[in-house]
A and B are shown apart, each in its own frame.
Chain A
Amino acid sequence: MPDALNPEDLDAEQRAALEELLFRLADDEYVHGERLIEWQIYAPTLESDLALANVAQDEFGHARLWYDLLEELGHTEAELIWERPADEFRHATLVELPFAEGDWADVVLRSYLYDAAERLRLDALVDTSYAPLSDRVGKVLSEERYHLENAQSWLDRLAEGDSRDRVQDALDRLFPHALSLFVEPEYEDAIVDNGFRTMSTADLRIEWLETVIPYLESLGLDVPEPDEVERPSARGRDGTHTDHWDELAAEFRRTYDELEAPEPARIGGERV
């Protein structure tokens, strides 16, 4: 195994590889959290509402931990979140899609597909060679465990009876986008060779398919054939996104844009 690396040890290629890995981690978590909060006060029960709020809070917390590591490499918060062009975000298209209106099956199924992938990805980072990342993975992994449990407990219930059709619809709609989680990074070789991630993206994809397909089929769902589904033209990971992403990005940045952030605002609207 390569020696543990810190920011000051990185050469240009290692740095680019690590940044690509971190941007994917951070952007996935941030955008997933951003969508989840749309369910606030609308989830079907008080308990599920609180659970989802907690999950979203965790995702924002994790995104911040990963963005922190990018800040250590010289990026700034303003640039990472508020001013980065929308087509430079590297999240998978799965997490940017709006929910089908009022469709609880969408958020449950999406969360399951995402959280199953997230667990595998984090498992492959536990023994990362990058010391600052290594410090954080265990804590995040133990928090993610609850997300997967929550999604699965809902999915088990929704897949019984009439609601199964809605889960099936969500699966047909979301599965092609979930595959975008596993688009190979530009710096895949450097990521693996340097020990930043201990499993290849191709192997993660296989493991994910071997995890989610038998489980979904055990619930009576038909899983699309991964190699035959029509893939969306937007790939997410390469900066191409659906139109929904532009709208979501504009929405979460509206306040920042209106505040003209460098100038402190005062209550009542007076400016210093």
Chain B
Amino acid sequence: MSDVSADDAREATACGYTEYVDGEVPEGFPKTGVGATGVEADIWDALYEIEDPEMPVSIVDLGLIYDVRVVEREGEDGETKTLGIVEMTLTYTGCPARDYLENDVQCAILAAGVDEASVRLRFTPEWTVDMVTEAGREALREFGLGV
């Protein structure tokens, strides 16, 4: 966690109707790909290259990626195919960059060398600003946003 306590952040909040700090980070989040190996690690690396369209911070450091896995399945032609699956969330449901991000993630999965890619949206657990990693916080601070 950062050196900014939840209480400090609340006091610094300008708008009474927006909560910038919203409780606890569920266990195991944010996911950063630590310990991933092989093609899954390559997918994580590619995901780190994708930045949020509004801020110069990786979507991994924003805490948007919930799972990366590669499975094998039999294609229609009987050949074994590799399928890369990324589960991710959005900061809010109406995110106008949804298609853009899904497409970037799709490309990142394929770039890691799998046969097929699947991007699945998940909204549990709910994303909060507390899911931003320490590296993400630094990138945001440098950009001029206090988190």
Contacts and interface: CB of A to CB of B under 8 A. Distances in A.
B93 A65 contact: yes
Contacts of B143: none
A136 B123 contact: yes
Nearest to B128: A142
Contacts of B69: none
A1 to B, nearest CB: 17
B94 A58 contact: yes
A170 B123 CA distance: 36
A230 B124 CA distance: 43
B126 interface: yes
Nearest to B123: A139
Contacts of B127: 139
Contacts of A142: 126
Interface in A19-73: 57-62, 64-65, 68
Contacts of A150: 17
B123 A60 contact: no
Interface residues of B, number: 13
A193 B51 CA distance: 45
B95 interface: yes
B93 A146 contact: no
Contacts of A135: 122-124
B94 A61 contact: yes
A143 B123 CA distance: 12
B124 A143 contact: no
Contacts, number: 43
B92 A143 contact: yes
B126 A60 contact: no
A18 to B, nearest CB: 18
Interface string B17-33: 10000000000000000
A201 to B, nearest CB: 25
Interface in A136-187: 136, 138-140, 142-143, 146, 149-150
A58 B127 CA distance: 15
Interface of B: 17, 92-96, 98, 121-124, 126-127
Contact of B123 (A57, A138, A149): A138
A58 B121 CA distance: 16
Secondary structure of the B contact surface, majority rule: loop
6 contacts: A61-B95, A64-B98, A135-B122, A136-B123, A138-B124, A143-B93
B122, B123, B127, most chain A CB atoms within 10 A: B123
A195 B96 CA distance: 33
Contact of A139 (B17, B93, B96, B98): B93
Given A136-B93, A139-B124, A146-B17, 5 more contacts: A58-B93, A64-B98, A139-B123, A139-B127, A150-B17
A135 to B, nearest CB: 5
A68 B121 CA distance: 10
Nearest to B94: A61
Interface in A85-112: none
A62 B93 contact: yes
A134 interface: yes
Contacts of B92: 58, 61, 139, 143
* The 9 residue pairs across chains A and B that have the minimum distance between CB atoms: A61-B94, A61-B93, A139-B123, A57-B94, A135-B124, A136-B123, A139-B126, A58-B94, A138-B126
Contacts of A146: 17
B102 to A, nearest CB: 11
A139 B127 CA distance: 8
A73 to B, nearest CB: 16
Contacts of B93: 58, 61-62, 64-65, 136, 139-140, 143
Contacts of B17: 146, 149-150
Among B93, B96, B124, B127, the one with the most A-chain Cβ atoms within 10 Å of its Cβ is B93
